[in-house]
Chain A
């Protein structure tokens, strides 16, 4: 009797703890959104939304400040695009190799190495881009400035390969063997089977992997802050210095802007923009992943 009672109390206590920790993460998320909204609301009381969204200059710290977010958005999108041009094809190729070709033993070696790419601190990547890749690129592209979008974009692409490849590989391996056999039975080669049947079958999972890669690239801070130069620049030219939303946020946070000023509030306006951008991609990714489960 007594044993049963203690067990019941124990179970109850554990359940409560689990519930509270789940609740706390929900609570923290909600508070972040509330603080972000509150502070950006303060910002938009002083700066009209239309100026924020259409202004072509972002110079909040100048004597005559301008609050157009477009240069930061363009910087973010430019670097993200470069990163994706590197990461998506390489990540997908790696996934095809790992899922369809690699012998088991080799896979056991390659996978941890790939995952190590994601474990390197991003500061290291940042200085690698600035001090190693940029000088090399300058030998081929004389016009490339010391700070630019290209070099951190490429490095960021390499950094997110493992995110893209591991989720894509999982999706491809989840394709049932009898679908592959159907292709082989029609006389298809391994390559044809991989590209014409396995990839389309794993489409939603691969798309989800791409979305994860995109969110990761948009949210990345250190590499850009170090190697892209801190200049908001409305351009599509990868050879010029740019600034991203994240890089702006660290740059301003590191300086000593007084609490409550408009400069201080720009952090939250930029943060809100970033939050909404990643949210959109995550919602798309969530929706796609739900669809994979329905496919089989």
Chain B
């Protein structure tokens, strides 16, 4: 199979005010693969991930430099001319802590569609079911779609957030340590789901859990102090890293 790129990060710099958090990042994002970002706490993984859906635009004094080219349209999603809302319409995100809205299960999943002006019941019904099936949650909630989302367990809430993110057919799905607030069983379910989902959507996942990166990802980038130290196929990174720092990190000597 030919490799196909979904996105390309070129010379990305990012600044929180005067503090530079990302330095000269270059990275290819393979289409319909899982790319993992690993590295010690504070190295800039979250900061990098949040560039892809322009989350930094919500806060003042943040600044991007460089390009993140989205294929096949070939547009730079971090250029000032690009509307952040337009970007978020195409690139969805699942957060570290499950953050369902104070609405029913159904309305949580339908949220992105409603925001886009979809209100036809049949369309919504179909999309909600499809997304909940996609997130392997349908069987657990199909009889109580109008219950409040807070009634679900933490793991179910996170899968609900995944369903919510899937409902709008995103081109890239971002995960920021999606299992850090979950127990091992719920974690396993989410990991299986991520592997399943890559058949349909390109995935970038941040994790500080190296076993998780090894289990779910096809490619891995190791970050340190705001830079990408090494990027390769996941099995290579974990068996034969070419950089000394990477090796020290994955063997648990720091981080």
Contacts and interface: CB of A to CB of B under 8 A. Distances in A.
A203 B161 CA distance: 21
Interface string B96-125: 010111110000000110111000000000
Contact of B111 (A189, A196, A201, A295): A196
Contact of B99 (A178, A196, A203): A178
A203 B58 contact: no
A184 B102 contact: no
Nearest to B114: A196
B134 to A, nearest CB: 16
Contacts of B101: 179, 182-183, 196-197, 200-201
Contacts of B103: 200
Contacts of A295: 102
A201 to B, nearest CB: 5
Nearest to B161: A182
Contacts, number: 61
A181 interface: yes
A200 B108 CA distance: 13
Question: Which secondary structure dominates where chain A touches chain B?
Answer: helix
B115 A184 contact: no
Interface stretch (B14-22, B85-93, B189-197, B222-230): B85-93
A178 B157 CA distance: 14
Nearest to B93: A185
B33 interface: no
B95 interface: yes
Contacts of A182: 95, 99-101, 161, 164
Interface residues of B, number: 24
A197 B114 CA distance: 13
B112 A186 contact: yes
A188 interface: yes
Contacts of B95: 178, 181-182, 185
A184 B88 CA distance: 8
A187 B164 CA distance: 12
Contacts of B116: 187
20 contacts: A179-B101, A181-B95, A182-B95, A182-B100, A182-B101, A182-B161, A185-B55, A185-B88, A185-B93, A185-B95, A185-B165, A186-B88, A186-B115, A186-B164, A186-B168, A187-B89, A187-B116, A189-B85, A196-B111, A295-B102
